[in-house]
Amino acid sequence: MTTGATTGDGLDREALDHLETARVRVEPALRAALGRLPGRVRPVALYHYGWSDAEGRECDTGRGKALRPALTLLSAAAAGGDGAGRDERVLAAAVAVDLVHNFSLVHDDVMDGDLTRRHRPTVWSVFGVGPAVLAGDALLTLALQTLAPAPAAAAAVADAVQELILGQIQDLALERRDSATLTECLAMAAAKTGALLGCSCALGALAAGAPDGRVRLLGRVGRDLGLAFQLTDDVLGIWGDPAVTGKPAGADLRARKKSLPVVAALASGTAAGRELARVYRSRQELGPDEVARAAALVREAGGRDWALERAGDLLGDIEKTLDTGDLDESGVPGLRSLARLCVDRRF
């Protein structure tokens, strides 16, 4: 599945450089935006961003991947605009999508009761459920405030937020049910992850003043990338290295999450799939041995291969769209390498 120039450990250095560059370019504007949050909310948000500890002391830990801002900057460049973070409108768009992503993480951790995020205790587990809900609300509001001078961009982000919320509520509903079809799960992943990644790309193009066609095309690239990202994320949720992902090993299986490889395995009609269904139906807690056994069943039933192949297909679609899309060359290689990273990553 690996394409293009990657390093020995499967990571594309060029893509990591793009992420780091975007992080550095967007950080001052992002910090300035967080600085506008009201007094008592700010320390909670800064803690989540890894820029202060639980006591409010400055630090710099547990930073995110900055994937969404990077997509916005590179899409702005690919649409013929400025991807270097000098254009205020592009920068505001990059800040807004990052804030939306982090709003959703803070609320997700409350809803899922997750204790760890980016190798650190989650916001709700440090500050309590109330402050976590409110800090999430404040980050969402701040995202839309950031785009107040650009009504079309604000409307696009708000649409993406509604779709993201839809994806989350579908996810919760699927977790409660005994069965879920692969079609339902793919639709859920498209809404949960695809919408905001699509918006991250579309917004870059929009802020660069690109015509509708380019905005739509880059939006489609982002959506495809979002689904590929989620497929890879679900694979890492089962087989990822906890030291690299920052999440406990096999956590998704222990929580009996209906992630995409699992649902593919359950729908495979194989003996391993039926055995996995029995494990998922049983009420008892899964120990490390049972988790390892469930992971083996997902693999045996073809769930892992299906997810990796599907992610690879999406990567192919993305590369084709980028090749034929009449885009500015300054942003295309970066988008291509980020797409590869999303599929090949280990973190």
Among 12, 14, 98, 163, binds a copy of itself (CB under 8 A): 163
243 burial (CB, 10 Å; 0-12 / 13-18 / 19+) is: exposed
Instruction: Give residue for tokens 């590179």.
Output: 74
91 burial (CB, 10 Å; 0-12 / 13-18 / 19+) is: buried
Amino acid 34 reads: L
Q: Comparing C-alpha atoms, which of 343, 346, 337, 344 is closest to residue 16?
A: 337
Among 161, 186, 196, 297, binds a copy of itself (CB under 8 A): 161
Site string for a copy of itself, 124-153 (x = CB under 8 A): ----xxxx-xx-xxx-xxx-xx--xx-x--
Which of 169/251 has CB closer to a copy of itself? 169
- The pair of structure tokens assigned to 167 is 């994806």
Amino acid 45 reads: A
Among 15, 154, 253, 327, binds a copy of itself (CB under 8 A): 154
The enclosing H or E element of 261 equals helix 260-266
Give the nearest distance from C-beta 281 to a copy of itself in angstroms: 21
Q: Does 28 bind a copy of itself (CB under 8 A)?
A: no
> What count of residues does the chain have?
347
Q: Are 199 and 171 in contact (CB under 8 A)?
A: no
Residues 168-197 that bind a copy of itself (CB under 8 A): 168-170, 172-173
Residues that bind a copy of itself in the complex, under the rule CB under 8 A: 37-41, 44, 103, 107, 110-112, 128-131, 133-134, 136-138, 140-142, 144-145, 148-149, 151, 154-155, 158-159, 161-163, 165-166, 168-170, 172-173
